[in-house]
Amino acid sequence: MKDNNKVFWKGVEELGNSPEFLKNAQNEFPEFLPLKNSSEESNGTDRRDFLKLLGFSVAAVSLAACEAPVKKAIPYLNKPEEIEPGIANYYASTFVDGGEYCSVLVKTREGRPIKIDGNKLSGVTKGGTNARVQASVLSLYDEARIQGPLVKGKPATWAQLDKEVGAKLSSVAASGGNIRIVSPTVLSPTTKKAIAEFKAKYPTTEHVQYDANSSYGILKANQTSFGQAVIPSYDFSKADVIVGFGADFLGTWISPIEFFSQYADTRRLSKTKKTMSQHFQFETALSLTGSNADYRQPIKPSQEGLFVAELYNRIVAAKVATTPIKNDTLDRATKALLENKDKGLKSLVVSGSNDVNVQILVNEINLALGNYGTTISLATPSYQKQGNDEAMNTFIDDAAAGKISAVFFYGSNPVFDHARGAELAKALKAISLTVSFADRADETASLLEFVAPDHHYLEAWSDAEPKAGFYSLGQPSISPIFKTRAAQESLLSWSGNSVDYYTYLKSNWSSILGGASWDQALQDGVFEPKNKSGVEVTTSTFDRSSVEAGIVKNYPANTSGIELKLYEKIGLGTGSQANNPWLQELPDPISKATWDNYVAVSAGYAKTNSLEQGDLVTVKAANYSVVLPILIQPGQAANTASIAIGYGRTNVGKCGNDIGKNVYPFARFVDGTVLDFVTGISITPVGEKYKLAQTQTQHTLMARPIIQDALLSEYINDPSAGRFIPKISTPDGKVAPALVDIWKDQHHQPNHLWSMSIDLNTCLGCGACVIACQAENNVAVVGKQEVLNAREMHWIRIDRYYSSDAEPKETGKYFTNDAEGIGYGTLEIASENPQVTFQPMMCQHCNHAPCETVCPVAATTHSSEGLNQMTYNRCIGTRYCANNCPYKVRRFNWFKYFDNEEKFDKNVSMNTSLGRMVLNPDVTVRSRGVMEKCSFCVQKIQEGKLKAKKEKRHIVDGEVTTACAAACASGAILFGDLRDTEGKVYQERNVNNIERTYTVLEELNVQPNVTYLTKIRNISKA
C-alpha cells in the first residue's frame, strides 16, 4: 500500500500529454483511419461500391452452392521412415552468426523447420534463446537469397564457377599474389581446419577476422595484462556486485544468452533465497542492461575512461593520475565492491569499451577484487569475439594500395558493416579475384565477380566451439532449398580436396570426440568434455605510465559539445538478418520503436534545442553524416546522441532495404581498435517531420498500480512489501474484490488449470518471447504504417514502464496541465534517468473474463481447463471483447494479412510461397475481421495431453509449456498446471513467492490465470 504514490509512466508521450497521445489513450481502437491511400478521396459508399458488393454477394452465394472442389491427396513415393505426417521431429543444431552462438532444437514438420527452441543440454546457452535466434527460421525462407552461384552477377553452374575461380586462383598463386579470407569471428574448429588447408595450398593466404561490433580491445588488453589474446569467460551468476561500464551484456555484449540466465539467477528471490546481486551501470544510451540495473548513471562516452580510472584508483592502492570524478553512483559502487570483497564475496566489473587502456584497468580492478577464477576465467576462454581490428585495417589499407590479388568474404559484409566500407568498395574493383560466400547479393557481394552461396545454418552441417571445451554440432534439418554449397566445401574443392563437408566434419570430430559417440553428440547437439581448462591467472603485467597516457589522451577532463554513441539493438544486431520482418517489427525493448533507427537524445537536450520527437535532423561528424529522426529517450546521457547500427542496408531484400540509415561509418579507428563513439558532432534540424512507429503509445496506466515494486530491504522485512491490496467499498464496509461478484456460476476446472507466473525481477525485457510467440502462432507482420495506426498483432507485448522515486505533488491527477505544476509535469527531471520495469503482457485468461460476457455470438468462451478460448470461425468482428478487455491484449484483424502481397508484402510468412513454409500447420491463419489473442499455446497443451493419454500417465510438470516460456532465457515466465501441487507454477505462486504474487488490476476481480511477482530493487533507502 505504501507504494501507492509511486508514479509509473509509459513514455515521453505520456509525460508530454500531447493531443495525439490523449486521443490514442482514450480509444481502444483508432477509428476512422483511412483504409485507402491518402491520395484517394473517400466519400463513403458510392453506387459502384454498392454494385461491387452486390456482385460479390451473388458470387459468394453461388460459389457456396457449388460442389466442393476436388482435393487431391498425394502421398510420398517412398516415405522416409522418420517422417510421420502430422508429427513433429526435433533436431539438435547450432545457431551461429559470426560470433553469436546458440545451441538449438529445430522443430520440423514434414521436413520443414518451423520453430527454434533452445537446447537445454548446452552448458553455454542452457536452453535460452534470443529474438534473433528465434527469428532465424524465417531467414531460411528468405526469397532474397540467391538461388545458385553467380558469376559476374549472372546465374551460373557450380562447375563453371569452380573452373573460373580455380583458374584465377592458380594464376594468383603463380604470381605470388596476396590472398585474403575475410570473415567475422569463426567459431567452427572444422571451418578453421578447412581454411588452414586452403592456406597450406596457397601460402600467401591470410585469414582476417573482424567483428562488426568489435571487442578487440579486450583481446589486446588481455594480451598486455596476461599474455593471452583471448576473451575470458564470465560468470555473472557468482557475482554479488556487478559493475558495468557501457557493456550491454544482457543484450548484445559477447555472449548475451549465456549472461542472461546467469544474471537472472542472481536476481531471483524466494522464501529460501532473500539475497540478490547489486548492479551498477554507467552508460550513455539506456540499454537493456542499464534498464535492469539497480543504480544507473548516464555518462558521456568520453567520460567512460575517467570513470573506470577513478574506480581503479579507489579499489587499487596504486593510482593513475587522471582527472578525479565525483559521482554519487560511483561512490556507492566503490563502497559495494569493497564491502563485498571484505565479506569474501565475488564481484564482476565489465566494460564494453573497445579502448585497450580502459580494458587493462578493468582487468586490474577485477584482479584486485579477486574475481579471476570465479566470476572471470581465462582458463576457459570464450571464442565468441576473435575479430582483429588491426588486421582488418591493414587489409583495407593493402586493398586500397593494390597489394591484394584475391579476396574471399566468408559470412562478412564489410562494405556495409565496417567503418571503412566505402573505401573498401572502391578498392575491390582492382582485385583480380573476388569471391563472396554470402547467401544474397549484399552490399559487398554485389560488387564482386563471384558469389558462391553458402547454405543457411539450418541446411548445413556445422560445428562451433564458443568456449574452450564446449563443442557444439549442427546438423541440417532441411535439404538445401536452393543450389547452394557449404562454403567450407567450396574452399576445400578449390584447394584440391573434393571431399564433401559432412565427411570432412565427421572425420575432424573423431579427434574432438576422442572416442566418445558421434551419434550421441549429434543427438545432444553439444559435446562438453570440460577437460580443457588451463591455468587461472593470478598476476598481471601493468604498465602504469602508458595506460595513464592513453586515458589522459583519449578522455579529456572537460568535454563540451555533443557526442555520438553507436549501439547494437537486440532485434537487428549487426544487421545480418535485416531482411527478417519479425525482427524489424520487434519493438525495441526500451524505445518501443519498430522499423527504424533514430537519433536518441535526452529530454533536456531536446528542450534546449527546441527539438521534438520525430524532427528530422542531420547528424554530422568529421567524415560522415546522416539524416534521421529524433527520438526523445529518457535515461539518455545529457548532450549525447545514440544511433543503432545494423540499419540502412541497401542490398538485403525488400523488408530491410532502406530501413533507417547506416551509421557504421561514424566509427573511428583509434590506437589499433575501432571505437564506437564520436565526439564533437553536430545535430541540425532539417525542418521536416518523420513518423516513428512506436508501440505502447496507445493505452495508458490511468495511474493504476499495474507495476508493484519494493526495495530489497523492505522485502526482507516484509515479503509482501510493495503489494497493492485493493478494497472495494460496499454498504457493509470495505471488502476484498473477490467478494464482490456479478458472476453467479463459477467455472470448474476438474482436471487442469493452466496458469502462468511471471517474475518481474527476472524478466529482463529482451523480447525473445515476442518472436517465439510470433513463430509458434502464425502472428502476422503488419508493417510500419499499421504499427503507426496502432494495429500491431503481437500476442505478447513487453510493456516498459518508467518510474521515479520523486514524489508528485498530487496523485491521481491524470490529465492535468503542466503549467499548474501538478501531475506528471513535475517528474520531468526524474525522467532524465528513470527506473525501468518490464512487464510481459498477454491474454490473462481471466476466470471471470469481461470479454466473454460481451460477445454476442459466444466466439470467446471459457474452457474447462481455465483457458479463455477464441474461436475464429465463430467471430463476427464486433470488437466488443477488445473494448471490454482491461488488459488491452486482444488483436483485431483489420485486414487480410495473408495472400495479400499488394498491401502486406512485408508479411512474407503469409504472402510468399517460400515464406509460407514457416507457418505452424497446427494453428489457423486468421482471416480479416476476426479477433485474436494469446491462446496459452493451446495446440501445445493439446499435444502434451495427448502424449500423456497415450502413455497412460499424468502430465509431468514442465512437459507442457508455451512458446514464450520455452524461449525465455532467464526463466522469468513459468507455465504449468495449477492443479499439480508439485508443479513449478503452484510452488512459485503458493509456496515460494506467495507474498510477492499479484494479479494485475486485482480490484476488477476478473481472476486472471496469469500472476506476476513484485519487482524488487536492490537499492538502499538512504
Partner 1 sequence: MAKISEKTVLNMSRLPILMSRISRSILTLVAFSFVTVSASFAAETDTTKAAAPAATPALNGKGEQLFKENCKSCHKIHEESVGPALTGVKQRHDAAWLHAWVKNSTVVIASGDKAAVALFAKYNKAVMTSFPTFTNEEIDAIIDYVESVPKPPVDVPKGPTDGTGTQGGGEYDTVILGLIVVVLVLVLVAMFIFLSVIKRYLKDKEANLDAEDKELLNQKFDVKAFVRSKGFITIVVLLFVGVTVKTCWVGAQEVGVEQNYAPVQPIAFSHKLHAGDNQINCNYCHTGAYKGKQSNIPSLNICMNCHTYIKKGPNTGEAEIKKLTDAYAAGTPIKWVRVHNLPDLAYFNHSQHTQVAGIECQKCHGPIEEMEVVKQQSNLTMGWCINCHRETAVNSKDNAYYDRLLKVHAESKKKNDMTAEEMGGLDCSKCHY
Binding site for partner 1 (CB under 8 A): 64-65, 68, 70-79, 84-87, 750-751, 861, 863-865, 867, 869, 871-874, 922-924, 935, 938-939, 942, 945-946, 948-950, 952-955, 979
Task: Identify which of residues 781 and 938 has a Cβ nearer to partner 1 in the complex.
Answer: 938
Shortest distance (Å) from residue 997 CB to partner 1: 24
Contact 158, 485 (CB under 8 A): yes
Alpha-helix runs per DSSP H in 569-684 = 581-585, 603-608
Where on the phi/psi map is residue 637: left (φ > 0), alpha (ψ -120 to 50), or beta? beta
Contact 501, 461 (CB under 8 A): yes
- Smallest separation, CB 912 to partner 1 (Å): 19
Q: Which residues, other chains included, contact 77 with Cβ-Cβ below 8 Å and sequence gap of 6+?
A: none
952 Cβ partners below 8 Å, 6+ apart?
none
The least CB distance from residue 946 to partner 1, in Å, is 6
- Which of residues 53 and 87 has its CB atom nearest to partner 1 in the complex? 87
Burial 320-359 (b: 16+ CB within 10 A, else e): bebeebebebbebbbebbeebbeeebbbbbbbbbbbbbbb
Question: Quick check: helix, strand or coil at residue 476?
Answer: coil
Residue 785: in which H helix or E strand, if any? helix 784-788
Look at the alpha carbons of 624, 246, 970, 587 in this order and tell me if their dihedral is positive or negative. negative
Q: Which residues contact 41 (CB under 8 A, 6 or more apart)?
A: none
Given the complex with partner 1, which of 452 and 955 has the nearer CB atom?
955
Backbone angles phi, psi at 750, to 5 degrees: -65, -30
Instruction: Please state, as a whole number, how many other Cβ atoms lie within 10 Å of the Cβ of residue 225.
Output: 24
Residue among 630, 640, 572 nearest 246 (CA): 640
Which amino acid type is present at position 57? S
> Nearer to partner 1 by C-beta: 129 or 962?
962
- Compare residues 78 and 511 and give the one whose CB is closer to partner 1: 78
For β-strands 797-804 and 241-245, DSSP reports them as: unpaired
Question: How would DSSP label each residue in 102-155?
Answer: EEEEEEEETTEEEEEEE-TT-TTTTT---HHHHHHHHHHT-TTS-SS-EETTEE
> In a 3-state reduction of DSSP, which class is residue 179?
strand
- Alpha-carbon gap, residue 173 to 170, rounded angstroms: 5
Tell me how far, at minimum, the Cβ of 773 lies from partner 1, in Å: 14
The CA-based angle 607-611-615, given to 5 degrees, is 160
Can you spell out the DSSP letters for 215-262? -HHHHHHHHHHHS--SEEEE-GGG-SEEEEES--TTTTSSSHHHHHHH
Smallest gap from residue 862 Cβ to partner 1 (A) = 9
DSSP 3-state of 673:
strand
Shortest distance, CB of residue 795 to partner 1, whole angstroms? 12
Would you say 882 and 873 are in contact if contact means Cβ atoms under 8 Å apart?
no
The least distance separating partner 1 from the CB of residue 699, rounded to whole angstroms, comes to 26
**CB 843 → partner 1: shortest distance, Å?**
12
Q: Is the Cβ of residue 79 or residue 607 nearer to partner 1 in the bound state?
A: 79
Find the distance separating the first CA and the last CA of the chain, reported in whole Å: 20
Q: Which is nearer to partner 1, 126 or 752 (CB)?
A: 752
Name which of 665, 663, 659 is nearest 593 in CA terms.
659
Q: Answer yes or no: are the C-beta atoms of 170 and 947 closer than 8 Å.
A: no
Q: Shortest approach of partner 1 to residue 982 CB, angstroms?
A: 14
| Under 8 Å between Cβ of 890 and 796 | no
**Closer of 202 and 975 to partner 1 (Cβ):** 975
* Residue number with CB closer to partner 1 (296 or 933): 933
Q: What count of other Cβ atoms lies within 10 Å of the Cβ of residue 40?
A: 9
- C-alpha span between 669 and 389 (Å, rounded): 8
Calpha distance 113→94 (Å, rounded): 13
Q: Which three cell numbers stand for residue 229?
A: 589474446
For partner 1, the closer CB: 169 or 938: 938
For the bound state, the minimum distance from the C-beta of residue 979 to partner 1, rounded and expressed in Å, comes to 7
Q: CB-wise, 119 or 935, nearer to partner 1?
A: 935
In this structure, what DSSP letter does residue 302 have?
G
Shortest CB 523 distance to partner 1, Å: 21
Nearest approach, Cβ of residue 56 and partner 1 (Å): 17
Cell triple for 49: 461500391
Cα separation, 672 vs 787, whole angstroms: 43
Q: What's the min distance (Å) between Cβ of 110 and partner 1?
A: 10
Nearer to partner 1, 77 or 159 (CB): 77
559 vs 869 by CB, closer to partner 1: 869
Q: In the complex, what is the shortest distance from the CB of residue 872 to partner 1, in angstroms, rounded to a whole number?
A: 7
Closer to partner 1 by Cβ: residue 74 or 1022:
74
Least separation in angstroms between CB 928 and partner 1: 15
C-alpha to C-alpha distances, 130 to 47, 113, 772, nearest whole angstrom: 52, 18, 9
Cell of residue 755, nine digits: 496458469
CB 913 → partner 1: shortest distance, Å? 17
Phi, psi torsion values for 870, nearest 5 degrees = -120, 115
Q: Nearest approach, Cβ of 947 to partner 1 (angstroms)?
A: 10
Cβ 863 to partner 1, closest distance in Å?
4
Taking the C-alpha atoms of residue 687 and residue 617, their distance in angstroms, rounded to an integer, is 8
Nearer to partner 1, 309 or 938 (CB): 938
Bridge partners of 117? 105
Nearer to partner 1, 282 or 975 (CB): 975
